[in-house]
Amino acid sequence: MQVILTVNGRERTAEVLPATTLLELLREHLGLRGTKCGCGNGECGACTVILDGEPVTSCLVFAAQCNGREVVTIEGLSGESGELDRIQRAFIETGAVQCGYCTPGMIMSAAALLSKKPHPSREEIAEALSGNLCRCTGYVKIVDAVEAASRTEE
């Protein structure tokens, strides 16, 4: 079946199977490998993208459900010449990246939060990231990074 959707501001078309997930559509059909597959069953948050303004675990969304909808992935946050956005910069500057596998999903959850709530409390940041697991950092630096990004103008 054919799916037509907007990904990072650009209309994209793909032929998918009914069981194809949004994660597979992004990675395998569109070559957007920034979105990671951790568990494949909705438990780790590594595959988080923004769908019509809301963070979703893309391994649990069927591609067919995305027809006519708008998706933003980690690739969509950087500028046209590849410059990093404020959240990406804050993760690096704060030391919130170790192996990096959770990072795209963390950043997309943070981006969804900051688009709705520009100056969240640390508790609100932790709550917004509660579906994103990290085996490396202990989370404190990740919350520090999102807090730092919230203090930086876009």
Which residue ranges make up the site for ligand FES (CB under 6 A)?
Answer: 37-40, 42-47, 57, 59, 97-102, 134-137
Q: Is 98 exposed, middle or buried (0-12, 13-18, 19+ CB in 10 A)?
A: middle
DSSP-H helix ranges across 47-139: 86-94, 103-116, 122-128
Q: Are 38 and 133 in contact (CB under 8 A)?
A: yes
76 close to 32: Cβ distance less than 8 angstroms: no
Q: Please report how close the Cβ of residue 142 comes to ligand FES at its closest, in angstroms.
A: 8
Place of tokens 């649990």: 60
Nearer to ligand FES, 52 or 118 (CB): 52
The residue among 44 and 50 lying less far from ligand FES, judged by its C-beta, is: 44
User: For residues 53 and 114, is the Cβ–Cβ distance under 8 A?
Assistant: no
59, 97, 109, 141 from 56: Cα distances, Å:
9, 21, 8, 23
Closest to ligand FES by CB, 91 or 150? 91
Residue with smaller CB distance to ligand FES, 102 or 111: 102
